[in-house]
Amino acid sequence: DAGRAGNGNLVGYSSTKGGVMGFTKALAQEVGPAGIRVNSVSPGSVRAPMRDQVLKDIEDRLGEEGVEEREAKRMAQVPLRRIAEPDDIARPVLFFASELARHVTGQVLSVNGGFRMY
């Protein structure tokens, strides 16, 4: 959800994610009359190589205890109390691609375990 909330440590990343959100909405308006749906998923923290690198960078600055403390605080703020797995992101994408979402367009779905609610 860096595009909605921003992240001072990842300014470029947050900016591009905000761009994806605007692109989703604008393109949905442009191609909707042709019956084309445009939606996007805005994930929170996902167990993936990029997250591993971020944690390594934090560990380099704060040590292993700093990472553990940061992760414990973060999980306390996530109502579902876990980091997303790649499959947690794939499932909403499959929904958007299916006929179940045939009347859904221009939407940005946050998939973050409830960490941020918009």
In the block, tokens 């375990």 appear at 113
Alpha-carbon Rg for the chain in angstroms: 16
Write out the chain's pLDDT in tens, 118 residues: 777 777 777 788 889 999 999 999 999 999 999 999 999 999 988 988 887 787 777 777 777 777 778 888 888 999 999 999 999 999 999 999 999 999 999 999 999 999 988 8
Question: Which residues does the annotation mark as catalytic?
Answer: 13
pLDDT per position as a tens digit, 8-21: 777 888 899 999 99
What class, spelled out in words, does domain 2-109 have in CATH?
Answer: alpha beta
Q: Give the pLDDT confidence score for residue 100 in this predicted structure.
A: 98
Q: Contact at 8 Å (CB) between 78 and 72?
A: no
Alpha helix ranges (H) inside the chain: 2-5, 11-31, 49-76, 86-97
What's the full length of the chain, in residues? Answer: 118
pLDDT per position as a tens digit, 64-77: 777 778 888 888 99
The residue extents of the domains of the chain are 2-109
Global confidence as pTM: 0.82
State how far the Cα of 5 lies from the Cα of 8, in Å rounded to an integer: 10
Q: Within a 10 A sphere around the Cβ of 102, how many other Cβ atoms?
A: 9
